[in-house]
Amino acid sequence: MQQTIVTKHRTFNPQVILWGYLLLWFLLNLLFLTDFPLMHSDEAWLSGLSRHMSAEGRLDVTEPFYDLYERHPHAIKILYHLFQILFIQIFGYSLFSLRLLSLLGGVLCLYLMFQLLKSVFHHSRLFYFPLLVVIWMSWDVQFIYAAHTARQEIIMLALMLSSLILTLDGKSTAHGALTGCIIGLAAGFHPNAFLIAWPAGLLLLREMVTRKRSFLSGMAFLLTAAFTATLFVSLSFHFNPSFVQDYLSYGEPLGVMDASDVKILKWPLFYSKIFHQVGGTYYLPDIRWQFYSLPLFLLFLPLSSGRKGIIPAGLIGINLGIMILGKYSQPSVIFLIPFYYLAGAALLVGMQKISGQLQLLLILILLPLTLLLSAQEIKGELDPSAESYDEYLEQIRTLVPEESRVLGSLNLEYYLERGNLYNWRNLAFLPQESKEEEKSPFASYIHSRNINMIIIPSEIDYVYKNRPSWNALYGNTAHWYPQMEEFLEKNCVLTGSFESPSYGTRIEAYKNRKPWTVSVYRVISEDSR
């Protein structure tokens, strides 16, 4: 039944208060949506493919900026591309419009978290307590980061929360089937559907073992999830008959094919990197407070009431999924965040049993502390001396016509016309020898693609001079870098350069810490030489 809060003067509808806060949170986050975090190449990678799908009117295409770097069409994230296509058609092609999709996903996650809290904790004050925890989670820097990034994680998080609500609120076979359908649909957004299936799956298994749920309900979950996911696999085979072989080949360098013992040994290193903010090209927020406080929350878990079995099921399930998958992708840490706040909520419930004043004291400590730490982290990234993405594109705009055909970084994707960008990663797959004897493979590549501008971040020089430490970014640059230097000297003119502390490198640890630059070269046509 809908609860209503009555005061001496007026009656408050809890849903109005909740949605009022969510609207406020949404509007505040709009103010710095494209400034935090810095744009990552994954965002341009995903949206670039979505734009290409939309323009071609087909879903079985690959990224236009990768022509030598081998790519194969599949349907594993096809639903996410369809959502992106919708937002591109409505709001245009920009970093803002693609991140807007994630921000709306963040609003949905907060609403679902409110519903999940009501299902987990049978609290006497059913409205204020879930709202309080939702506000607390909405200030978490890791959650804000996921809601500000044009990747699939925040949508996957919403699907995971939905599956948990359905698992807790219904024990029928139909509920099991619907939960499985949600997990199966997640395969249309990201392979991490495997991860988010574990919390609901472990909950179902526990209830089946303790005879609180029928075997048929659990089987309905399993079979429906498998059937729905199989639809995307079948479509992938339609796009590419060698789908499994090609997909596993792509996953092998990421650790998916490692032996089980190797995957297990990588698990502590994964968390060590997150703790110390070692993310390669990924921005990793400082969440050391969450590392320190989670064991404390769990220590008091026995004092809490409610359906608290969801907390260990979630924490254990996500970690099992990560270990079995073996990819150890840093953005996947977002799937643990709801269980952290469920554990924190359990602590507050337990403290109320001891003392209402003690509970209030914890609230007055935990919420402001989370807000302070997150604000400090975000403020550091929004340093006025740092370079924004709009400022970066403005510099590019003064030197590079929009219709140019460019060899450059993926961060140019939101400026150039579709099909006019070729990425550095292609160069690792240049042939050893050119078919044209008088030209190097690099020169042949430039001329065969009619590339007329080469935009070089100084990171390329750094990666070459410090090889093989950063070979994961562009392959072995020793294969093509000397050819590029020769080509620049003989076949190009420097049209300009500018300092780019944020976008002159993809290496997160070095952004805004070195005097990175971007140099723009114009290719001289063969006829003009």
Rounding to the nearest 10 degrees, give the CA dihedral for residues 394, 397, 399, 402. 160
Residue 494 shares a structural domain with residue 365: no
Rg value, the chain, Cα: 25
Residues 129 and 273 in one domain: yes
**312 and 376 within one domain:** yes
| 277 and 305 fall within a common domain | yes
Dist. CA 256–CA 80, nearest whole Å: 22
On whether residue 54 sits in a domain, the answer given is: no
Residue 194 lies in a domain: yes
pLDDT at 238: 95
CA distance 377 to 111: 25
Q: How many whole angstroms separate alpha carbon 299 and alpha carbon 125?
A: 24
The number of domains in the chain is: 2
DSSP string covering 50-102: HHHHHHHT-SS---TT-SSS-----STTHHHHHHHHHHHHHH-SSHHHHHHHH
In a domain, 314, yes or no: yes
- On whether both 399 and 260 belong to a single domain, the answer is no
Helix ranges (H only) for 284-336 are: 288-299, 310-325
Host domain of residue 398: 389-528
Q: Is 62 among the domain residues?
A: no
pLDDT for the residue 255:
81
Which domain-ending residue is among 360, 381, 402?
A: 381
Do both 373 and 409 map to the same domain? no
Tokens of 171: 């024990």
Are both 285 and 348 inside the same structural domain? yes
Does 59 map to a domain?
no
Residue 149 DSSP class: S
Separation of alpha carbons 164 and 315, rounded Å: 13
Query: Is 259 strand, coil or helix?
Result: coil
Q: Does one domain contain both 251 and 340? A: yes
Q: Which among 327, 349, 381 is the end of a domain?
A: 381
| DSSP bridge partners of 519 | 456, 497
38 in helix, strand or coil? coil
Query: How high is the mean pLDDT in each 10-residue block of the chain (529 residues)?
Result: 50 80 98 96 97 97 94 95 98 98 98 95 72 96 98 98 93 90 96 93 90 88 95 95 88 84 93 93 94 94 85 96 92 97 93 81 93 94 86 96 96 96 96 77 95 97 92 91 95 96 93 92 73
User: Distance of CA 386 to CAs 150, 174, 181, 513, Å?
Assistant: 21, 53, 44, 10
Same domain, 256 and 111: yes
Residues 305 and 327 in one domain: yes
- What pTM value is reported for the model? 0.94
Contact criterion met (CB below 8 Å) for 389 and 381: no
Q: Is 44 inside any structural domain? A: no
- Domain annotation covers residue 20: yes
| Boundary (domain end) residue, out of 363, 381, 399 | 381
- Give every CB contact of residue 96 below 8 A, 6+ residues apart in sequence: 33, 34
- How would you classify residue 527: left for phi > 0, otherwise alpha for psi between -120 and 50, otherwise beta? alpha
- 448 and 375 in a common domain: no
What is the structure's pLDDT at 306? 76
Q: Is residue 218 part of a domain?
A: yes
Note whether 501 and 369 are same-domain residues.
Answer: no
